[in-house]
Amino acid sequence: MTDLVDSASTSESSTMTESTVPAISAGDGPLKMTTRNVDVFYGEKQAINGVSIDVTMDNVTAFIGPSGCGKSTFLRCLNRMNDTIPIAKVTGDITLEGEDIYAPKMDVVQLRARVGMVFQKPNPFPKSIYDNIAYGPRIHGLATSKDELDNIVETSLQRAGLWGEVQDRLQDSGTALSGGQQQRLCIARAIAVDPEVILMDEPCSALDPIATAKIEELIHELRGKYAIVIVTHNMQQAARVSQRTAFFHLGTLVEYGVTSDIFTNPTQEKTRDYITGRYG
Amino acid sequence: MANTGTEHTVKAFDTDINELRGMVAEIGGRSEQAIAKAMRALEKHDLKLAEEVVAEDKLIDELEKRIDELTFQTIALRAPMADDLRELIATFKISGVVERIGDYAKNIAKRVPVIASTHKLGPASLLPSMSNIASELVRDALEAFARRDADLALEVSERDQIVDDFYTSIFRSVITYMIENPKDIGEAAHLLFIAKNLERIGDHATNVAEMVYFAAKGEPMPERDRGENPTDLLEEPTTGR
């Protein structure tokens, strides 16, 4: 499989083939998001080719694959983060609760409240812990009183497993927290606007194993309350936190299935080579 | 998705896997040899050879320990996935099963002095042929492991029926012999135990084959249609009342 790396770095549209991987069927819990034949282009270059995936409410979905395989690009389609890149063009159908998220009438700010995102590097606002959480609910008008806002802040921090550590210093700066605490603060901030889906783009890659374990435990606790999609380079993490795993390679969805099947008996040779460390 | 033996990026992982596969081949070879030697000792009434089998069983036990240690260490340090994980789990289980095969061979060897005193296999004249088939199954099961060959593993499992049939046949003739020659019952019982040991060796070869199949295919081996089950012979006949 030595050819994989060489071609990964020059993923031309000519190397793409139509994805033949069927979208996962319903029956895995309520459908939250669906994608059908999604292509993404950066200028002339095709980064994603014909990806169809269903995201369900009850399962954590993990995207794995080598660098440059398109997993983050695809994740960013799910809340239209690619809109911020002028040369990016997304085609195909992506729906949230049956609603086309790329429809002209879709309010992108509202969409990103419904589909929240947590990034690789914790990025708290340079504000107090309290304001980091209160910011979203304020601009979305989710609280009508100070009490209500206090309540949202407390609930969000509790859900993110951070309340016990910060309850007596809510006015301290969010940036003064440790890396792991900052990442949980960012998760609390995403939760505060009452999202339906939380996208996580390598949320633990800047954290130590203890902080990572706390985030993984948090993902486990949040499962079912929100549809969660996580991009990770750490395959053990995908195996630990997700119930569905999608393997991307060269912008194509190679295999999508039940996580335990993918890690014990993948059906595709490329998946096997990647997860067993035979890649490149 | 079967293991095709392509190299890992981390070469030390391949070194561990190859060392393990080498040790499995060795423990398999030693067990197969133990069966052959024990049976030769039985046929030729060779007490010295029988003692050798008993002594050499320690080497098999030692190998099993080394295989288990290295498997354990490899799982802990390399965090294997997919076919690698299946193969390591299979290796771990196969080493235990093959060690048991060695024990059965040792057990046959230990009975040689008792049988040798009267110098006859008598009603169990089929034992050498039965032993040849059982040994073949052990050899082929380990060959299937070495080649990661699920088809050969399936064949081994099917051929175990021949060993079972041999056992059924020997069981019947030994029981008849016991009824006719009550004074030889003790010795005949030993012959019966030897037949039973060979029958168990066949079962264990099948266990190895099942592991090989699982490691290669990622799914359990399909159940084979069993003919007469040797253990049925132990059940009380139904009287209809």
Closest-CA residue of A relative to B8 is: A278
Backbone angles phi, psi at A153, to 5 degrees: -60, -45
From A224, A157, A146, select the one nearest A191 (Cα to Cα).
A157
pLDDT in tens, A214-255: 899 999 999 989 999 999 998 999 999 999 999 999 999 999
Other C-beta atoms closer than 10 Å to the C-beta of B143 total 16
Residues 6 or more apart whose Cβ sits within 8 Å of residue A267: A255, A257, B1
> Looking at the domain assignment, is residue B234 inside a domain?
no
What are the CA-CA distances from residue B56 to residues A279, B33, B41, B98, B105 (Å)?
Answer: 43, 10, 14, 14, 11
What are the CA-CA distances from residue B72 to residues A208, A215, A278, B87, B88 (Å)?
Answer: 26, 29, 21, 12, 9
Segments in chain A below pLDDT 50? 1-23, 25-27
Across chain B, what does the average pLDDT equal? 89
Mean pLDDT, to the nearest integer, of B83-103?
A: 95
Q: According to the model, what pLDDT value does residue A30 have?
A: 84
What are the chain B neighbours of A267 within 8 Å (beta carbons)?
A: 1
- Provide the b/e sequence for A19-34 (b: ≥16 CB within 10 Å): bebebbeeebeebbbb
pTM of the model: 0.81
Q: Which of A235, A268, A280 sits opposite B81 (nearest CB)?
A: A235
Residues 6 or more apart whose Cβ sits within 8 Å of residue B238: none
Strand, coil or helix: what is A124? Answer: coil
CB contact under 8 A, B82 and A264: yes
> Looking at the domain assignment, is residue B230 inside a domain?
no
> Looking at the domain assignment, is residue B235 inside a domain?
no
A50 Cβ under 8 Å from any chain B Cβ: no
Q: Which of A236, A272, A279 sits opposite B79 (nearest CB)?
A: A236
CA distance B78 to chain A (A): 10
Per the CB < 8 A criterion, the answer to whether B142 and B28 are in contact is yes
pLDDT in tens, A51-71: 999 999 989 999 999 998 999
> Looking at the domain assignment, is residue B57 inside a domain?
yes
CA distance A61 to chain B (A): 19
Q: Is the pLDDT assigned to residue B5 strictly greater than 80?
A: no
pLDDT in tens, B13-23: 999 999 999 99
**Burial tier of B234 (Cβ tally within 10 Å: 0-12, 13-18, 19+):** exposed
Per the CB < 8 A criterion, the answer to whether A65 and A36 are in contact is no
Other C-beta atoms closer than 10 Å to the C-beta of A103 total 8
Other C-beta atoms closer than 10 Å to the C-beta of B72 total 12
pLDDT band at B6 (very low <50, low <70, confident <90, very high): confident
The more confidently predicted of residues B9 and B72 is B72
CB contact under 8 A, B86 and A280: no
CA distance B76 to B70: 10
Give the residue numbers in B contacting A (CB under 8 Å), as ranges: 1, 6-10, 13, 79-86, 218-219
Give the dihedral sign, CA B18/B22/B23/B24: positive
DSSP B6: P
pLDDT in tens, B171-201: 999 999 999 988 888 888 999 999 999 999 9
- pLDDT over 70, % of chain B: 89
| Domain boundaries along the sequence of chain A | 3-275
- Indicate which CATH number applies to the domain containing B54: 1.20.58.220
DSSP B225: P
CB contact under 8 A, B7 and A279: no
Instruction: Name the residue with tokens 């190299």.
Output: B7
CA distance A16 to chain B (A): 23
Per the CB < 8 A criterion, the answer to whether B210 and B221 are in contact is yes
Closest-CA residue of A relative to B82 is: A264
Q: What is the ipTM of this complex?
A: 0.74
- CA-CA-CA-CA dihedral for B1, B4, B5, B11, to nearest 10: -60
CB contact under 8 A, A275 and B82: yes
DSSP A245: E
Q: According to the model, what pLDDT value does residue A182 have?
A: 94
Q: Which of B1, B79, B80 sits opposite A265 (nearest CB)?
A: B1
> Looking at the domain assignment, is residue B132 inside a domain?
yes
> Looking at the domain assignment, is residue B2 inside a domain?
no
What are the chain B neighbours of A276 within 8 Å (beta carbons)?
A: 8, 80-84
Q: Which of A1, A276, A280 sits opposite B81 (nearest CB)?
A: A276
Q: Which domain, by its residues, includes B169?
A: 11-221
Q: According to the model, what pLDDT value does residue A214 have?
A: 87
> Looking at the domain assignment, is residue B202 inside a domain?
yes
CATH fold group of domain A3-275 = Rossmann fold (3.40.50)
From A54, A58, A44, A56, select the one nearest A14 (Cα to Cα).
A44
From A36, A67, A66, A62, select the one nearest A51 (Cα to Cα).
A36
> Looking at the domain assignment, is residue B227 inside a domain?
no
